[in-house]
C-alpha cells in the first residue's frame, strides 16, 4: 500500500528568488576563473612517467591536484556556450571569457564553486555558493551542509528505490543531473512485468505514479534552475523498481517487493529506500492487517526485510507510516515494524517533535520504532529518503561499515540519543555528530538526567527557544503525550501527570531526561 503524500510533486515545484551575481562593471570581454568542485577519482594523474618518477624520488605523494579537471564538467560548460581558454588541475578551475548572461548560467551549474575575475578591477557581488544553493528546510535540520563541506554526496554508493511509479523522473529539474550522468543503471516494473522500463517514466496510470519520482528527488534532488538542493546523495547510483500499483491495493504487492529486494541483492545493492507500507485499506478488506500484527514477524514482507538485514547485509530504510492520527490504527505499518530496518518518522519543523500524522511504535515491541525522524510536511514517504541520503554519505565516508554499523551511527548521531521514544525514535540525525563518530572522535555531551520528586520540578534550560518540546512517558521509551512549554527566566516548570515515570525535555542541542521517583 502506498504511503500517500498530501501534496503531489510539491518537493519538485519550490521556487526561490533569483540573485544578482555580477556587477555593472562586467563587460562582454571580461575573463574569469571558474572554480570547480570535485574531480573524477577514476581519472589517471595528468603526469608523465618521468614526472611521477621524480615525485617518488622526492618522496612527494600524488594527490587530487595531480588529477585533470573533470572532462564532464568541461563538456557541460561548453554546452552552455562557454569557450574554455585554460585549465588548471592545481586550482581545479578553468578560465573563460564570460558575458553577464553567461555568468548567470554558469553560476547555476551544481559543480561550480565560484567565479573569480582575472581582471582585478571587476567585482562579483554574489555571496558565494553557500547562499547560492538553497537547502530545503529538512536539509538544514539534519545539518546537510556539514556533509557537503566534507565532500560527501553519496558518490560510489548504489541505492535501490522500491516504490510506485517514477513518472517523469528523467525530465524534472531536480533529477536531470542524475539521468544526464547515467546515474540510473536499470529500472524494473514488477506490476506490469512485460512493460518496457521506459514506460515507467512515460506512463501515468494514477497520481501515485509520481510517488517514486518524489522519493528519488528527496534522496538526490538538486534543482540547478531554481538552485535548491532537496537531497544529500546527489552523486549516488540508482536501481529503481516499481512494486506498488497505485489504483489497486492488495497483498500481491508484497510479493513484488520481495522479488525486487532479491533482484537488488543479486546486484550487490546494500542500501534500499522503500517509502511503502502495508496496514489496512486493501481493495479486498479481508486482506487488511490488524494493529496487533505489526510485530515484526507476522507479515511476509517484514520477515523478508529482517532476513535481508541479518543475512544479506542490506540497510533498508522504510517510512514509518502516516496513520498517527487514525485512532483505530496509530502504529507503524509493515515492514517498518521489522527490527532490522531503519524506520523513519516525521517531525514538526520548529519543535522537532512528532507531527500528527506520523505513526508511532507499538508498545508491544521489545525494540524502538520508529528509529529516527526528520521534518516532513507531506508524509513519512519524504522523511525516509532524506535519511537514505544521510546513510549514503556515511557509506561513502567508510564503505567498510556494515549495515548495522551505519544504522548505529545514524541512531547515535540523533539529537535525543540515548533517550529515544516511540514517537520520534532517537530524534533527528545530525551530520556533525555522524562525522565525529566516523572519525572516532568523542561526542560532546548533549544529554543528562535529573531526578525529581513530588508532582512538579523546575529544570534550568540554557536555551533561547521560546517553546520547548517535552515528552511525557510511562516508562523509558513509551510516550503518554507530547507537549510544548514556555520557559520562564531560564527555567522550565514540569508537572508530573498520571502514570508518568519519565519526562524528556528536548532542547535540540541538548536533551534532559527527568526521572520521577
Let me know whether 391 and 474 are in one domain.
Answer: no
Question: How would residue 8 be classed by pLDDT, with cut points 50, 70 and 90?
Answer: very low
Let me know whether 288 and 379 are in one domain.
Answer: yes
Q: Is the pLDDT assigned to residue 121 strictly greater than 70?
A: no
Q: Is the pLDDT assigned to residue 390 strictly greater than 90?
A: yes
Let me know whether 62 and 145 are in one domain.
Answer: no
Give residue 6's pLDDT.
34
Does the CA dihedral 23-26-28-30 come out positive or negative?
A: negative
Let me know whether 118 and 39 are in one domain.
Answer: yes
Give residue 10's pLDDT.
41
Phi, psi of 449 (to 5 degrees): -115, 150
At 228, list the grid cell. 535548491
Give residue 270's pLDDT.
96
Let me know whether 141 and 126 are in one domain.
Answer: no
- What would the mean pLDDT of 55-75 be, rounded to a whole number? 79
> Within a domain: residue 19?
no
Give residue 52's pLDDT.
66
- What would the mean pLDDT of 237-259 be, rounded to a whole number? 83
Phi, psi of 134 (to 5 degrees): -85, 130
Q: Is the pLDDT assigned to residue 118 strictly greater than 70?
A: no
CATH code assigned at 159: 3.40.50.200
Q: Which of 379, 411, 438 is the last residue of a domain?
A: 438
CA distance readout (Å), 192 to 164, 203, 215, 253, 385: 12, 12, 21, 12, 25
Average per-residue pLDDT in the chain? 87
Within 8 A by CB and 6+ apart from 375, the residues are 137, 138, 141, 346, 347, 348, 349, 352, 355, 383, 428
Closest CA to 510 of 462, 457, 441, 451: 462
Give residue 32's pLDDT.
81
Contact 251, 282 (CB under 8 A): yes
- Residue 202 or residue 239, greater confidence: 239
Give residue 288's pLDDT.
87
Tell me the Ramachandran region of residue 37: left when phi exceeds 0, alpha when psi lies from -120 to 50, beta otherwise. beta
Asked if the peptide bond before residue 231 counts as cis, ω within 30 degrees of 0, the response is no
Q: Is the pLDDT assigned to residue 480 strictly greater than 90?
A: yes
pLDDT in tens, 150-162: 999 999 999 999 9
H-only helix segments in 221-289: 252-266
Q: Is the pLDDT assigned to residue 72 strictly greater than 70?
A: yes
Let me know whether 496 and 377 are in one domain.
Answer: no
Q: Is the pLDDT assigned to residue 86 strictly greater than 60?
A: yes
Let me know whether 106 and 141 are in one domain.
Answer: no
Contact 38, 156 (CB under 8 A): no
pTM to 2 decimals?
0.76
> Within a domain: residue 25?
no
- What's the CA gap between 305 and 257, in Å, rounded? 10
Q: Is the pLDDT assigned to residue 180 strictly greater than 80?
A: yes
- What's the CA gap between 44 and 102, in Å, rounded? 31
Q: Give percent of the chain with pLDDT exceeding 70.
A: 87
Tell me the Ramachandran region of residue 92: left when phi exceeds 0, alpha when psi lies from -120 to 50, beta otherwise. left
Let me know whether 241 and 364 are in one domain.
Answer: yes
- What's the CA gap between 357 and 516, in Å, rounded? 30
Full DSSP string of 103-149: HHHHHTSTTEEEEEESSTT-------HHHHSEEPHHHHHTTHHHHHH
> Within a domain: residue 190?
yes
CA distance readout (Å), 308 to 21, 192, 271, 301, 407: 49, 25, 11, 10, 14
Neighbours of 48 (CB within 10 A): 9
Give residue 306's pLDDT.
95
Q: Is the pLDDT assigned to residue 149 strictly greater than 80?
A: yes
Q: 489 is in which domain, residue-wise?
A: 447-516
> Within a domain: residue 383?
yes
Within 8 A by CB and 6+ apart from 198, the residues are 187
- What would the mean pLDDT of 446-455 be, rounded to a whole number? 95
Lowest-pLDDT choice from 195-204, 401-410, 502-511: 195-204
Closest CA to 4 of 209, 305, 258: 209
- Residue 5 or residue 383, greater confidence: 383
Within 8 A by CB and 6+ apart from 149, the residues are none
Let me know whether 182 and 327 are in one domain.
Answer: yes
Give residue 39's pLDDT.
84
Q: Which of 131, 162, 192 is the last residue of a domain?
A: 131
Name the strands in the sheet holding 134-135, side by side, starting at the edge strand that comes first in the sequence: 134-135, 228-229, 222-223
CA distance readout (Å), 119 to 20, 96, 99, 122, 418: 19, 12, 14, 6, 55
Give residue 61's pLDDT.
80
Q: Is the pLDDT assigned to residue 486 strictly greater than 80?
A: yes
Q: Is the pLDDT assigned to residue 445 strictly greater than 80?
A: yes
- Residue 66 or residue 260, greater confidence: 260
> Within a domain: residue 23?
no
Let me know whether 174 and 197 are in one domain.
Answer: yes
Question: How would residue 265 be classed by pLDDT, with cut points 50, 70 and 90?
Answer: very high
Give residue 421's pLDDT.
98
At 435, list the grid cell. 562525522
Give residue 5's pLDDT.
40
Q: Is the pLDDT assigned to residue 514 strictly greater than 90?
A: yes
> Within a domain: residue 22?
no
CATH code assigned at 474: 2.60.40
pLDDT in tens, 267-303: 999 999 999 998 888 788 888 899 999 999 999 899 9
Lowest-pLDDT choice from 126-130, 194-198, 214-218, 439-443: 126-130
Give residue 231's pLDDT.
98
Q: Which of 105, 131, 157 is the last residue of a domain?
A: 131
Q: How many domains is the chain built from?
A: 3
- What would the mean pLDDT of 409-415 be, rounded to a whole number? 98
Give residue 131's pLDDT.
42
Q: Is the pLDDT assigned to residue 125 strictly greater than 60?
A: no
pLDDT in tens, 10-60: 444 333 333 322 233 334 457 787 989 888 777 778 776 755 664 576 566
- Residue 208 or residue 131, greater confidence: 208
CA distance readout (Å), 166 to 160, 209, 232, 446, 463: 13, 6, 19, 41, 44
Let me know whether 460 and 423 are in one domain.
Answer: no
Highest mean pLDDT of the ranges 43-57, 76-90, 288-302, 381-395: 381-395
Let me know whether 324 and 351 are in one domain.
Answer: yes
- Residue 198 or residue 216, greater confidence: 216
> Within a domain: residue 203?
yes
At 264, list the grid cell. 537488488
- What would the mean pLDDT of 467-496 be, rounded to a whole number? 96
> Within a domain: residue 10?
no
Amino acid at each position: 500500500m502506498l504511503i500517500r503524500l498530501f501534496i503531489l510533486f510539491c518537493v519538485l515545484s519550490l521556487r526561490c528568488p533569483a540573485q544578482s551575481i555580477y556587477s555593472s562593471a562586467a563587460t562582454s570581454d571580461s575573463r574569469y576563473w571558474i572554480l570547480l568542485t570535485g574531480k573524477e577519482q577514476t581519472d589517471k594523474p595528468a603526469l608523465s612517467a618521468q614526472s611521477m618518477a621524480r615525485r617518488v624520488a622526492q618522496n612527494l605523494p600524488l594527490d587530487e591536484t595531480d588529477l585533470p579537471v573533470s572532462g564532464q564538467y568541461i563538456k557541460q560548460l561548453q554546452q552552455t556556450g562557454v569557450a574554455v581558454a585554460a585549465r588548471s588541475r592545481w586550482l581545479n578551475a578553468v578560465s573563460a571569457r564570460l558575458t553577464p548572461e553567461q555568468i548567470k548560467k554558469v553560476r547555476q551549474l551544481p559543480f561550480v564553486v565560484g567565479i573569480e575575475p582575472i581582471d582585478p578591477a571587476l567585482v562579483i557581488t554574489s555571496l558565494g555558493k553557500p547562499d547560492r544553493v538553497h537547502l530545503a528546510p529538512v536539509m538544514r535540520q539534519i545539518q546537510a551542509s556539514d556533509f557537503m563541506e566534507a565532500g560527501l554526496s553519496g558518490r560510489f554508493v548504489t541505492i535501490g528505490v522500491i516504490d510506485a511509479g517514477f513518472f517523469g523522473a528523467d525530465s524534472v529539474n531536480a533529477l536531470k543531473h542524475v539521468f544526464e550522468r547515467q546515474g540510473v543503471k536499470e529500472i524494473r516494473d514488477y506490476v506490469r512485468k512485460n512493460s518496457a522500463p521506459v514506460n515507467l517514466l512515460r506512463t501515468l496510470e494514477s497520481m501515485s505514479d509520481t510517488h517514486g519520482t518524489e522519493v528519488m528527488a528527496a534522496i538526490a534532488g538538486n534543482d540547478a534552475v531554481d538552485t535548491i538542493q532537496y537531497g544529500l546523495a546527489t552523486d549516488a547510483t540508482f536501481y529503481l523498481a516499481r512494486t506498488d500499483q497505485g489504483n489497486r491495493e492488495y497483498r500481491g504487492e508484497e510479493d513484488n517487493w520481495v522479488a525486487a529486494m532479491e533482484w537488488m541483492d543479486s546486484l550487490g545493492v546494500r542500501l534500499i529506500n522503500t517509502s511503502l507500507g502495508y496496514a489496512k485499506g486493501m481493495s479486498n478488506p479481508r486482506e487488511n492487517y490488524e494493529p496487533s500484527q505489526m510485530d515484526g514477524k507476522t507479515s511476509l514482507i517484514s520477515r523478508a526485510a529482517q532476513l535481508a538485514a541479518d543475512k544479506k547485509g542490506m540497510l533498508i530504510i522504510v517510512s514509518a507510516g502516516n496513520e498517527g492520527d487514525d485512532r483505530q490504527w496509530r502504529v507503524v505499518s509493515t515492514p517498518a515494524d521489522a527490527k532490522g530496518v531503519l524506520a523513519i518518522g516525521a517531525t514538526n519543523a520548529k519543535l522537532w517533535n512528532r507531527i500528527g500524522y506520523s505513526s508511532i511504535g507499538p508498545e508491544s515491541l521489545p525494540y524502538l520504532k520508529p528509529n529516527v525522524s526528520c521534518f516532513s510536511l507531506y508524509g513519512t514517504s519524504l522523511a525516509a529518503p532524506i535519511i537514505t541520503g544521510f546513510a549514503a554519505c556515511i557509506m561513502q565516508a567508510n564503505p567498510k561499515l556494515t549495515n548495522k554499523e551505519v544504522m548505529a551511527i545514524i541512531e547515535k548521531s540523533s539529537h535525543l540519543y540515548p533517550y529515544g521514544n516511540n514517537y520520534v525514535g532517537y530524534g533527528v540525525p545530525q551530520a556533525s555528530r555522524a562525522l565525529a563518530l566516523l572519525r572516532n572522535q568523542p561526542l560532546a555531551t548533549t544529554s543528562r538526567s535529573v531526578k525529581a520528586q513530588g508532582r512538579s520540578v523546575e529544570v534550568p534550560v540554557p536555551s533561547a527557544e521560546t517553546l520547548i518540546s517535552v515528552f511525557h512517558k510511562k516508562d523509558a521509551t513509551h510516550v503518554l503525550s507530547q507537549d510544548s512549554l514556555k520557559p520562564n527566566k531560564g527555567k522550565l516548570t514540569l508537572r508530573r501527570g498520571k502514570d508518568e515515570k519519565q519526562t524528556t525535555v528536548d532542547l535540540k542541542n541538548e536533551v534532559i531526561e527527568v526521572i520521577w521517583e
